[in-house]
Structure 1
Amino acid sequence: MKAVDLARTAVANTFRSKLRTTLTVLALFVGAFTLTITTALGAGVSSYISTQVNSFAAEDVLLVQATTDLTAAAEDDGPAEWDPETSTSSNTQAGGPPLAGAQAEPLTDDDLDTIAAIDGISGIDPVRSVSTDWVSTDSSAKFEFSVNPQSAVTVADLEAGAQLDHSASGFEVMLPNDYLEALEFSSADDAVGSEVTIGMTDITGATHEVTAEVVGVSRSSLFASGAGANNALVTELASLRTAGIDGADENSVIAIAYLESGLSDAQIEQVTADLSDAGFSAQTIEDQLGIVTTVIAGITGVLNAFAIVALIAAAFGIVNTLLMSVQERTREIGLMKAMGMGSSRIFALFSLEAVTIGVIGSLLGVGAAMLVGSGLSTALAAGPLADLEGLSLFLFEPASLIGVVLLISAIAFVSGALPASRAARQRPIESLRYE
């Protein structure tokens, strides 16, 4: 019997007992479905987090501040309308990184020198923050406004327009897309190239207005809850804030410490420890996202455990299905051997039957997982996860899908080895006498 004939016969024999085969396929289906969904969930979240981390213009950086009191900026559904009686100037919390806290002390020049002198740090870049009050256009009301102090070292996830030009002399602003409706822009493209007015209050209580051009509209991200401003605009706002008073310049609360290339995880931990000994707290971007990845890893781990249990149950189902098939086909096996079919061919025939069951179950599970996952991603992206633009909760990678099919096929092959071996050891005379 040729290989093609073996495969054709194995597929036909698989459905001799439709009920047993269907139940075994269903067990494999559950395992394949769960494994595919959890793999796609992990890939989707990991891809989104990697995108957020890569939004920083440089890799291998530490966010350093003088305190360890960590808070996060509050999230909102959009900008609140400016109220002169209740609204206050924004600080580094608004649009700042998760590391920035309300109790953080400003970093002095001596602090920056101390940080730069730590072994493993190749450079230091203070993140300059400015306080603003509101933003408006000629046709809109005034709305509370904050400038993300990290905009100098991040790359915006653009919905329209271009990145900030920090070498330009003109005033440029990167507008978050949740301001479009408030400022009466019909679309992101409509906002690009227009001018907005930014209002602020200096340390003497006097108000100032600065006009800036919108060069781009950014999507929401984990690191950009405020607007972006180029260096020229930040310098102008900081100058107006001090009202020309010497020594009133706002110092940076956060600094970006650039690590030397090629540092190992242990060396980075040592740099962090040295900074802590010097009175500073530091985190990598991955550290800040650690709790997110930990939660996702926990969820996928639990779901994978269910998938493994289902696959183990399916493996026993395959063993049972094929053992009963061997017993029912004892005389047939004896006849095939009597006609000259070797033990290796008999083993291959029953092994192919097991693999056929595995392939069918895995393909059905993978296909169903892709349909359900794609539907859930679309629904969640338009609902609860609408603020996390660019997030595809379930990311189905071809290599992972093929891996699931191959894994389950391998499990099916191993499970079918015992029944196939038993069939291969049958003696022709005894098998033909079997009643």
Structure 2
Amino acid sequence: MRTVDLVSTAVANTFRSKTRTILTVLAIFVGAFTLTITNGLGTGINAFIDKTVASMGASDVLTVTKTTSATSTGPQKYDPDAVASAQQTGGRPGATGEVTALTDQDIATVSQLPGVEKVVPVTSVSIDYVEAPGGDPYTAQVGSLVAGQTPQIADGAAPDDASDALQVALPDALVAPLGFADASDAVGATVTIAVTDPVRAQHLVEATVSGVTEAAFGGTTSLTTNSALEKTLFTLQNTGVPADQLDRYASASATVSSSATTAQIDEVKAALTDAGYTGTTVADQLGTFESVIDGIVLVLNAFAVIALLAASFGIVNTLLMSVQERTREIGLMKAMGMGSGRVFTLFSLEAIFIGLLGSALGAVIAIGVGTAVSAQLAASLFSDLPGLQLIAFDPVSILLTVLAVMGIAFLAGTLPAARAARADPVESLRYE
């Protein structure tokens, strides 16, 4: 019997007992459906995190801070060089509290380290409010662009760091409150930003709206400024502050070569550590999110695998009953010259085909259900997170799921297949 004949015979034999086969396929379907949905959940969330990484900073930019000793819950000794760690770029994740300040000398030291191409101190600006002409003032956070950062723009463009004009990108959440009809109406408009100096004198700065940013992991009311506006606000905010007190930064952005590999970036981190600094990329900071998501997906996949293992017993039962019912047929095939290997292959193909039916059905329905649920959630519960596709499907992942289920089905079918292969043709023909 040729291979093609074995395959066609196995497919035909699968449906000899339709009810038994359908029930087994449905048991496999449950596991395959769950496995496909959970993998899609992990793919969708991790893809959104990866997209957010690009909007928060490039992979070749490290946030540098001074290394501090581990904190304790007890009383802390006063450190005159400590500054608030909130002096981070708006919208970028980071711990709150205090860190030892960086100075211009530290910036110079970091810039001399091997692999570091440029170092820019991150200044802190805290505004009172932002206001559009004829509208009400609203409080907001402020963050400047980091080298390589590509914010998610809903309309317009990101602020131009190379321009001397004062530019700001408004978050989508502030468009309507400030009195604009929509994002396009805000682009090109002039807004007033108020900042207060240490002696409680308030300064007003006018800036042009270059674009509107979409919500991501960052705060929904964070303004994004270009370098010119950031320097203007920082200068006004620190009016009257002694010059030696301005040389204090919570962190700095160190840029390495855009072609640097992960190993080379790790070497830069090691050099920073040896010099008494800590360097982290945005991917490092968001890595915890991905680890949590991967852990949840792993647990859910474990339940799916348990369901598949339970279904494998159904395959064993189905094929054992099939072998029992077809004992005389097996004896006849072997008497006519069909080898034990071919008999084993025939029943193994039946098991694999059952696995293919269940996994393919589970994957197809999971894609349909997952896509519909994801679209519904994106329009309702997660409408504040544009670009989030909660459940996304990777063709390679789906293919691997189908192949894995077929592999489990094959392993489950080896017991009855081996039993059929070992059958004695004479005894089988005598079977009643």
Q: Counterpart amino acid of 1:167?
A: A
Moved more, 297-306 or 119-128: 119-128
CA contact (8 A) 2:35 2:304 kept: yes
Cα distance in 2, alignment partners of residues 417 and 43 from structure 1:
33
Q: Which residue of 2 aligns with 1:270?
A: 270
Residue 342 of structure 1 deviates from its aligned partner by 4.4
> Of the candidates 385, 391, 408, which is equivalent to residue 388 of structure 1?
385
CA contact (8 A) 1:6 1:349 kept: yes
Q: Which residue of 2 aligns with 1:376?
A: 373
| Structural mapping, 1:157-176, within 5 Å | 157-176=152-171
Task: Report the TM-score when normalising by structure 2.
Answer: 0.85
CA contact (8 A) 1:96 1:150 kept: no
* 1:237 pairs with 2:217: no
* 1:209 pairs with 2:204: yes
Moved more, 174-183 or 407-416: 407-416
Cα distance in 2, alignment partners of residues 271 and 383 from structure 1:
47
Residue 176 of structure 1 deviates from its aligned partner by 0.7
CA contact (8 A) 1:129 1:250 kept: no
> Of the candidates 287, 291, 296, which is equivalent to residue 290 of structure 1?
287
Q: Counterpart amino acid of 2:49?
A: I
Q: 1:126 to 1:96 in 2, by over 3 A?
A: farther
Q: 1:150 to 1:69 in 2, by over 3 A?
A: farther
* 1:16 pairs with 2:16: yes
| Structural mapping, 1:342-381, within 5 Å | 342-381=339-378
Q: Counterpart amino acid of 2:205?
A: V
Q: 1:158 to 1:250 in 2, by over 3 A?
A: farther
CA RMSD of aligned residues (A): 2.8
Q: Counterpart amino acid of 2:292?
A: V
Cα distance in 2, alignment partners of residues 409 and 53 from structure 1:
37
Residue 68 of structure 1 deviates from its aligned partner by 5.5
Cα distance in 2, alignment partners of residues 258 and 197 from structure 1:
32
> Of the candidates 421, 432, 435, which is equivalent to residue 429 of structure 2?
432
Cα deviations by residue, 1:320-364 (Å, 9 ceiling, x for unpaired):
211221111011222334445444443332222111100111012
2:358 partner SS: helix
Aligned residues: percent identity?
47
| Structural mapping, 1:303-314, within 5 Å | 303-314=300-311
Q: Which residue of 2 aligns with 1:74?
A: none
Q: Counterpart amino acid of 2:401?
A: V
Q: Which residue of 2 aligns with 1:133?
A: 128
Moved more, 98-107 or 414-423: 98-107
Cα distance in 1, alignment partners of residues 104 and 55 from structure 2:
27
Q: 1:288 to 1:121 in 2, by over 3 A?
A: same
Cα distance in 2, alignment partners of residues 204 and 96 from structure 1:
28
Cα distance in 2, alignment partners of residues 363 and 303 from structure 1:
20
1:174 partner SS: strand
Q: 1:112 to 1:269 in 2, by over 3 A?
A: closer
Task: Report the TM-score when normalising by structure 1.
Answer: 0.85
Segments of 5+ residues of structure 1 without an aligned counterpart are 71-90
CA contact (8 A) 1:152 1:166 kept: no
CA contact (8 A) 1:152 1:231 kept: no
Residue 143 of structure 1 deviates from its aligned partner by 0.5
Segments of 5+ residues of structure 2 without an aligned counterpart are 71-85
Cα distance in 2, alignment partners of residues 17 and 69 from structure 1:
70
Residue 398 of structure 1 deviates from its aligned partner by 0.8
Cα distance in 2, alignment partners of residues 311 and 100 from structure 1:
42
